[in-house]
């Protein structure tokens, strides 16, 4: 025997199928870090790519970290000066609406998201957001003994 499989010409798919089954059983034993695999794809097979707002990297739209920013076109320092010089007294300046897409690396680096412990990763409720213009209530501090 020269080391060549005698069944190979008869069943050309047997070689690939055995490797596929091994790989499939290997995947079923592997641990998963996240239930969703770090994506929000669910039943879709393919998702369009978006470019990272920071570095320009291509990243699937469902995997990218999204941040929606609403801010005034004019900064706060110049807002009063424009209001004084304006002919219209009750004119409201338009706002700037920007949706930023970050790749995972840039989101972690710029502290948009932070890594969490295994127990904290199970918490799926979004964090409490600070409402602009209002101050959050401070929790009562413990008295020192």
Overall size of the chain counted in residues: 145
Which stretch of DSSP H or E encloses residue 58? Answer: strand 58-60
Whether 100 contacts 53, CB under 8 Å: yes
pLDDT by 10s per residue, the chain, length 145: 455 555 545 555 555 666 777 777 877 788 888 888 899 999 899 999 999 999 999 999 999 999 999 999 998 888 888 888 888 888 888 999 999 999 999 999 999 999 999 899 888 898 888 776 666 555 555 555 4
Q: What is the pTM of this model?
A: 0.65
Q: Helix, strand or coil for residue 60?
A: strand
Q: 102-118 burial, b for 16+ CB within 10 Å, e for fewer?
A: bbbebbeeeeeeeeeee
């Amino acid at each position: 025997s020269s080391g060549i499989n005698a069944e190979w010409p008869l069943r050309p798919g047997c070689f690939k199928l055995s490797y596929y089954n091994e790989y499939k059983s290997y995947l079923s034993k592997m641990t998963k870090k996240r239930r969703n695999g770090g994506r929000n794809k669910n039943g879709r097979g393919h998702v369009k790519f978006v470019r990272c707002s920071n570095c320009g990297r291509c990243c699937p739209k469902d995997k990218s970290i999204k941040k929606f920013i609403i801010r005034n076109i004019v900064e706060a320092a110049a807002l009063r000066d424009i209001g004084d010089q304006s002919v219209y007294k009750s004119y409201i300046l338009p706002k700037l609406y920007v949706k930023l897409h970050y790749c995972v690396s840039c989101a972690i680096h710029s502290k948009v998201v932070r890594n969490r412990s295994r127990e904290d990763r199970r918490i799926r409720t979004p964090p409490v957001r600070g409402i602009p213009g209002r101050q959050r209530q401070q929790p009562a501090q413990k008295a020192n003994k």
